[in-house]
Amino acid sequence: QKEVEQNSGPLSVPEGAIASLNCTYSDRGSQSFFWYRQYSGKSPELIMSIYSNGDKEDGRFTAQLNKASQYVSLLIRDSQPSDSATYLCAVTTYNFNKFYFGSGTKLNVKP
């Protein structure tokens, strides 16, 4: 079982819709959770981090964490074509020793 699992997609949504990206993790002791966005041919850039259960909002982005169910999600409201990218979920272990990345979900926002 991989430490972090994501649906590879592609996830296609129309412009203006809400895109919902999901991620599950296997280590119940995981402490820190991150979402990165990666455009084709570029390096990952941090969108959000979340550390405690619940929702965290930043502009059009909302990260949701549910430690009991071991999942973290990212909602993108009012999706724009410029949001088309691969979204990587990352998780750190209890002792912060390792940083695990999912394989990413490719998002296509259609104009």
Partner 1 sequence: KAGVTQTPRYLIKTRGQQVTLSCSPISGHRSVSWYQQTPGQGLQFLFEYFSETQRNKGNFPGRFSGRQFSNSRSEMNVSTLELGDSALYLCASSSTTVGETQYFGPGTRLLVL
Q: Site residues (CB under 8 A) for partner 1?
A: 31-32, 34, 36, 42-46, 49, 88, 90, 92-93, 96-104
Nearer to partner 1, 17 or 108 (CB): 108
Nearer to partner 1, 48 or 76 (CB): 48
CB proximity list for 8: less than 8 A, separation 6 or greater? 103, 104, 105, 106
Q: Cβ atoms within 10 A of the Cβ of 42, count?
A: 10
Q: How far apart are CA 27 and CA 30, in angstroms?
A: 6
Q: Rounded to the nearest whole angstrom, what is the least distance from the CB of residue 35 to partner 1 in the complex?
A: 11
Q: How far apart are CA 83 and CA 86, in angstroms?
A: 9
Q: Rounded to the nearest whole angstrom, what is the least distance from the CB of residue 44 to partner 1 in the complex?
A: 5
Q: Rounded to the nearest whole angstrom, what is the least distance from the CB of residue 40 to partner 1 in the complex?
A: 10
